[in-house]
Structure 1
Amino acid sequence: MNQPKNHILVIFGASGDLTYRKLVPAVFDLYNQNLLPDKFAILGLGRTDLSDVDFRAKMKAGIQQFALNKPDDENKLNNYLEKLHYFSFDTKDPDEYCLLKGKLRELDEACGTDNNFIYYMATPPNMYEIIPEQLAKQALSDESAGFKRLIVEKPFGYDLETAQKLNKELLKYFNEEQIYRIDHYLGKETVQNLLVTRFSNGIFEPLWNRNYIHHVEITGAENIGVGNRGGYYEGSGALRDMIQNHLLLLVGLVAMEPPTLIDSTNIRNEIAKVFHSLRPIKEEEVAKYAIRGQYTASHIKGEAVKGYREEQGVAADSRTETFAAIKLFIDNWRWAGVPFYIRSGKMLPTRVTEIVIHFKSTPHHLFANDASICNNYNQLVIRIQPDEGVLLKFGMKVPGAGFKVQNVNMDFHYSDLSDTYLPSAYERLLLDCMLGDSTLYHRGDAVEAAWKFVDPILKAWKNDKNIPVHGYPAGTWGPEVSDELIEENDITWRYPCKNLANDGNYCEL
């Protein structure tokens, strides 16, 4: 594997939870595998007044708790911690960026990092326009000597208008090639393996079209509520929080055409084409193609569970959706007429993200009196999390007289690869940025195209009070009315278990 060039990783908002739980432990995992350059440093920036010693002590606790490779060599851990530095800094104060420039120059000369900087904005979104502007004013985005890269966390905008505005502002100060819009879903091995499953197997790609696929189903379920994030979630909801970014990304990977090459430009071109091919849902059509719900009080395993409107920070008359389901179409040659059903929700029976390819039934039902049985014979289930793997469902004869058919499973689990190390999403994505590879990062036009698709739904839900917010008891699979999106009476959503191959058996609630 190529070694990244010498550089400094500059983390804005370094006193926050993301740095403690994800970023610094992920970089330690890279260090533990000798994947970092010889000359490397992390500079944490935050308003909290910390010394280098204090910052290192805090990050040491984070590494010991959250790193995948638990440090067993104290000397190696201490050597890594020596690369961590902290600078007390007010992100909102333009005058302090001159001091930051001086600190970076000093650290760059001391560490020999060749004036290469990666800026990670682990800050609230209201800082996403301020930081790039002030960096540019100090010539800290100039690549005439050394590379300068900017990592932007989600949410990237609140709607189409704000996403377009943010893109426009960022491009004033950084080139598109310098901007890395991160989505940790793209860092998951199982998401990347979707490309390999499709394009390296002659048994799948010839069938991957409207001639053989009946419909595609994508689920992103959580079995927890909003907890103490009620105030944040009130301004977000399931459509913004999960569907606009994570699940539409999975739609793009399922539906994209084979790229000419496996590289950043070609893969992101094909994903963008899918987003531009999404059939628009007009505001007046939203009730037909989109359903929203909100979890209500219930009992799970004998314990009382709050409803969403009873959570801290949530309005008593809130209409924010904790469940959303959408039926969409992709208007191109490959997918014309094939419905994609996507859903996401909180307080569902289990935590699971998966893609289900439902193949068409055989044209002549030789072995079934009930044609609906055949609709469930052939499914390809690609499990993103948990129990990561791939499951193929097909029909086999039951032993004995006659030709009774039942579903059987053929499955592969990533856990079977016991000798294979699975990097965390942030570990993979940070390394890619260090290498200058933006393949697994969002491009600006694709982000805007995704917002363009969901924007009419958001507007209809905001403006049309006649569109209901359906209640569903916590611990169930969302509003029953979501089944009505699937127009064929004998087909419903798949109800997965946390274990990939255990569907149809007892599932823990």
Structure 2
Amino acid sequence: MIDRLVIFGATGDLSARFLLPGLAALRAEGHLGDRFQLVGSDRSDWDDGQFQSWAASQLERHGGGLPTDARKAVVASARFQRADVTDSADVASVVAGDDPLAVYLALPPALFPSAVTALHRAELPAGSRIVLEKPFGEDLDSAVELNRLLAELVPEEAVYRVDHFLAMTTVANVLSARLANRVLEPLWNSTHIAEVEIVWDEDLALEGRAGYYDSAGALKDMVQNHLLQLLCLVAMEPPVSLGERDLRDRKVDVLRSVRPLTDDDVVHRTRRARYAAGRIDDHDVPAYVDEEGVDPGRRTETFAEVELEIDSWRWSGTKFLLRSGKALGADRKEVTVRFRPVPHIPFGHGGEVLPNVLRFGLEPEGLALDLTGMGPHARTFAPFTLTARMDPPDLPPYGRLLLDVLTGDPALSIRGDEAEEAWRVVTPVLSAWERDLVPLQEYPAGSQGPS
């Protein structure tokens, strides 16, 4: 297990909200020992004490529910070293040493190529690992180039292109529900399933993220990585094992099987929109174009919807709908599996029989199955729902990802060819949207989205 974690961009929002609490959770569960060392680095003119004080305050704010001794241990393990991540001499001074380390690039994606180049020149200790946040590249060409740079730095198995969605408990339950239950796997195909919806709708607006979000938009921020990852887990063939090679091979198969979208497909099977001024709960929300840091000329979408088909024996004829939107009237974060109706109802006219629906709640986590039973009157039907609550995980998603990085398990990270295939899926959409083949609609903040 690696005992030294270097975070470039250590005083940013990612470290404060997720990485520091993730490390404290690992310490609380006994996964980090006294030898562990956290090295924070960025351009701040700080010393160890200032970094430790900042880390303690952020852990109090974002990880206050974690044990005090675990938080104190993470703070005590931390030191700080000022560096420009694009300067190879600076980087070399931060990563110097003989033992392998993990390098976490908690940076804007635009800095990844320069940072990876600097790390290559600095010569990482043998056995080191590198972690990159999404999005991986800005388009297919940049993803291919970044993969080339990484291949010169470390072996593919030492590259962790992380997506915290894959570490969520319910995402794992998608696989276990399919593969560990005989009642579901025989039905998991187009003969029985008409449509799968993968939705991440949230009532949060921009929340000060214009610096990143306005250059990405909903399609790149959510659909290209998070939602396509969920699509892979829903649609993949059963792997031989959950080892990194078997699992990731089957995920790539799904992306390669997605039917390429023509311009006409994009026009009829995608939607894009951005929120206008409105009201969410008890507060007013300005229009997206009026948010601080937004460039209206970019025509960035805050709502993206894409309908895909998979050309495979299992899924021919099933529709897959991926959607994500901001500043909506209600949160809806789930994978919804809609089964086809039964072919015949032998009870006569007893009312409407709705198709079965299986829902995997992502946030909050849970499971629900809509069924039809007999109503209070003879030969009448009534819907009912079976629900299950998931036990809380022992680790938060970023704790799980950090543990995989430190112990060397890349199964939940995204392989290089998988990242490129995901860009191939959305490239026709990006191209058609850039040419305005699909109108950019508007919807009031607090509404259900574009009509």
**In which range does the TM-score fall when normalised by the shorter chain?**
over 0.9
Structure 1 counterpart of 2:101: 117
Matched, 1:83 2:77: yes
Q: State the Cα deviation string for residues 31-69 of structure 1 (Å, max 9, x = none).
A: 122111452211111111111111111111122222264
**SS in structure 2 at match of 1:97:** helix
Distance in 2, matches of 1:80 and 1:238, equals 34
> Are the aligned partners of 1:11 and 1:120 in contact in 2 as well (CA < 8 Å)?
yes
CA-CA distance at 1:349 after TM superposition: 1.8
Structure 2 counterpart of 1:111: none
Alignment of 1:206-221 (within 5 A): 206-221=186-201
Q: State the Cα deviation string for residues 95-154 of structure 1 (Å, max 9, x = none).
A: 3234335xx33xx7xxxxxx02000001122221222222222321x52xxx20000111
Q: 1:262 to 1:303 in 2, by over 3 A?
A: closer
* Corresponding letter in the other structure for 2:294: V
- Within the candidate set 367, 386, 395, 1:410 is matched to 386
- Within the candidate set 357, 379, 403, 1:379 is matched to 357
> Are the aligned partners of 1:349 and 1:475 in contact in 2 as well (CA < 8 Å)?
yes
**Of 281-290 and 259-268, the range deviating more from structure 2:** 281-290
- Within the candidate set 263, 277, 282, 1:283 is matched to 263
- Within the candidate set 124, 130, 144, 2:114 is matched to 130
* Corresponding letter in the other structure for 1:391: A
* Corresponding letter in the other structure for 1:292: R
CA-CA distance at 1:6 after TM superposition: 4.5
**SS in structure 2 at match of 1:356:** strand
- Within the candidate set 418, 427, 434, 2:406 is matched to 434
> Are the aligned partners of 1:120 and 1:152 in contact in 2 as well (CA < 8 Å)?
yes
CA-CA distance at 1:176 after TM superposition: 0.7
* Corresponding letter in the other structure for 1:116: P
Q: 1:66 to 1:304 in 2, by over 3 A?
A: closer
Structure 2 counterpart of 1:254: 234
Distance in 1, matches of 2:81 and 2:288, equals 40
**SS in structure 2 at match of 1:48:** coil
CA-CA distance at 1:170 after TM superposition: 1.3
Q: 1:356 to 1:123 in 2, by over 3 A?
A: same
> Are the aligned partners of 1:356 and 1:379 in contact in 2 as well (CA < 8 Å)?
yes
* Corresponding letter in the other structure for 1:218: I
Unmatched segments (≥5 aa) in structure 2: none
Q: State the Cα deviation string for residues 290-330 of structure 1 (Å, max 9, x = none).
A: 11112222234464432222222334455321111111100
Alignment of 1:64-213 (within 5 A): 64-67=60-63, 69-73=65-69, 77-101=71-95, 104-105=96-97, 115-140=99-124, 142-143=125-126, 147-213=127-193
**SS in structure 2 at match of 1:128:** helix
Distance in 2, matches of 1:6 and 1:226, equals 36
> Are the aligned partners of 2:350 and 2:380 in contact in 1 as well (CA < 8 Å)?
no
Rg comparison, structure with higher value? 1
Q: 1:306 to 1:194 in 2, by over 3 A?
A: same
Report 1 or 2 for greater relative contact order, CA contacts < 8 Å, sequence distance ≥ 6: 2
Distance in 2, matches of 1:204 and 1:273, equals 21
Distance in 2, matches of 1:68 and 1:430, equals 19
- Within the candidate set 377, 386, 390, 2:367 is matched to 390
Distance in 1, matches of 2:236 and 2:393, equals 28
* Corresponding letter in the other structure for 1:412: A
* Corresponding letter in the other structure for 1:117: L
* Corresponding letter in the other structure for 1:20: A
Q: 1:301 to 1:429 in 2, by over 3 A?
A: closer
CA-CA distance at 1:377 after TM superposition: 3.2
Q: TM-score, normalised on structure 1?
A: 0.84
Distance in 2, matches of 1:176 and 1:432, equals 15
* Corresponding letter in the other structure for 2:419: V
CA-CA distance at 1:166 after TM superposition: 1.1
- Within the candidate set 279, 294, 312, 2:274 is matched to 294
Matched, 1:307 2:287: yes
Distance in 1, matches of 2:64 and 2:332, equals 21
Structure 2 counterpart of 1:460: 432
Matched, 1:424 2:396: yes
Distance in 1, matches of 2:162 and 2:411, equals 11
Matched, 1:23 2:19: yes
**SS in structure 2 at match of 1:227:** coil
Distance in 2, matches of 1:231 and 1:126, equals 12
Distance in 1, matches of 2:296 and 2:430, equals 20
Q: 1:22 to 1:407 in 2, by over 3 A?
A: same
Q: 1:241 to 1:117 in 2, by over 3 A?
A: same
* Corresponding letter in the other structure for 1:127: L
> Are the aligned partners of 2:85 and 2:118 in contact in 1 as well (CA < 8 Å)?
no
Unmatched segments (≥5 aa) in structure 1: 109-114, 481-509
Distance in 1, matches of 2:311 and 2:161, equals 27
Distance in 2, matches of 1:68 and 1:279, equals 46
Matched, 1:471 2:442: yes
Q: State the Cα deviation string for residues 214-263 of structure 1 (Å, max 9, x = none).
A: 11111111102113223432221111110000111111000001110111
CA-CA distance at 1:474 after TM superposition: 1.6
Distance in 2, matches of 1:307 and 1:119, equals 38
Distance in 2, matches of 1:156 and 1:275, equals 16
Structure 2 counterpart of 1:445: 417
* Corresponding letter in the other structure for 1:471: E
Q: TM-score, normalised on structure 2?
A: 0.95
CA-CA distance at 1:367 after TM superposition: 4.6
**SS in structure 2 at match of 1:294:** strand
Structure 1 counterpart of 2:46: 50
* Corresponding letter in the other structure for 1:454: V
Q: State the Cα deviation string for residues 154-185 of structure 1 (Å, max 9, x = none).
A: 11111111111111121122211110001111
